[in-house]
Amino acid sequence: MEPSRGRYGPLVHRSVHHGAILWVVGVLQFVGAMIVVQLAWSNPSYSLTQNYISDLGAIHCGSFASHSVCSPLHDVFNASIIALGLLLILGVLLLPTAFPNRSSRRVGLGLLVVAGIGAIGVGLSPEDYNLTIHSASALLSFLGGGFALIVLGFAMFRDTRWDGYRAFSVLSGLVALVALGLFLGGAYHWGGVWSAWGVGGMERLVVAPVLLWALVAGLHLWRIPSYAPRQLSKPGGS
């Protein structure tokens, strides 16, 4: 049940708090896992600019895509990104009432589910196990996350609970999609400032806006007071 029109703006359903916690936990555990797995690398050490993020989940040691890969804790990374996808999807299921009931909400949250499915696919199919499925899953996650933020930014219009977050959401999605275009276009080979980012830095520029948005949005929703449905009258209108 959604709150009545008069109570709609300042409060959220209690389930939104649960979904928000899932998003925050999902992001923090994934970032923590990446740091731990990166530190476990040796001979050579992991490079934030020259290694793909997915190198952390490679099962075998050796040469992959013209660079050395050896991730002793690959199982940790793969389990973590699967958990990220699952927590993102579960959070979406608990969060619908955090947005106005309009088509942009349904599309935006649906795209986040797509991003979560992509993340799960990345973890289930490491790059040196099935590169085709892995690449398709990663692209699904990148596109789903970027477009979701833009659409949800529009879904936030005329909702006082999201004051100050609309532009942040749209801008985050745009940065992620522009970075994806540069990444797929091989901007790290163009020289100049782009070469300094490297393939790893460019890929992180795609992922970071979505992770940061999920963390910030989750913390924001967790702080909004909740309402108890039984205390509210039946909603009027659509």
The per-residue pLDDT for range 60-108, each reduced to its tens digit, is: 888 777 778 889 999 999 999 999 999 999 999 999 988 988 899 999 9
What amino acid is encoded at 46 in this protein?
Y
**pLDDT on residue 227:** 73
Residue 234 forms part of a structural domain: no
Residue 237 forms part of a structural domain: no
Domain that includes residue 84, residue range? 11-225
**pLDDT on residue 229:** 55
Are 6 and 231 a contacting pair, CB within 8 Å? no
- The neighbouring-strand residues paired with 62 are 69
Residue 190 forms part of a structural domain: yes
Residue 230 forms part of a structural domain: no
pLDDT at residue 192 tops 80: no
**pLDDT on residue 228:** 59
Residue 231 forms part of a structural domain: no
Residue 111 forms part of a structural domain: yes
CA dist., res. 233 & res. 173, Å (int): 37
Average pLDDT on 13-35 reads 95
The total domain count for the chain is 1
- Percentage of the chain lying above the pLDDT 90 cut: 63
Query: pLDDT class for 35, splitting at 50, 70, 90?
Result: very high
CA dist., res. 213 & res. 172, Å (int): 7
> Could you tell me the two tokens for 158?
């005329």
Residue 4 forms part of a structural domain: no
Residue 145 forms part of a structural domain: yes
CA dist., res. 82 & res. 126, Å (int): 11
Which is more confidently placed, 6 or 110? Answer: 110
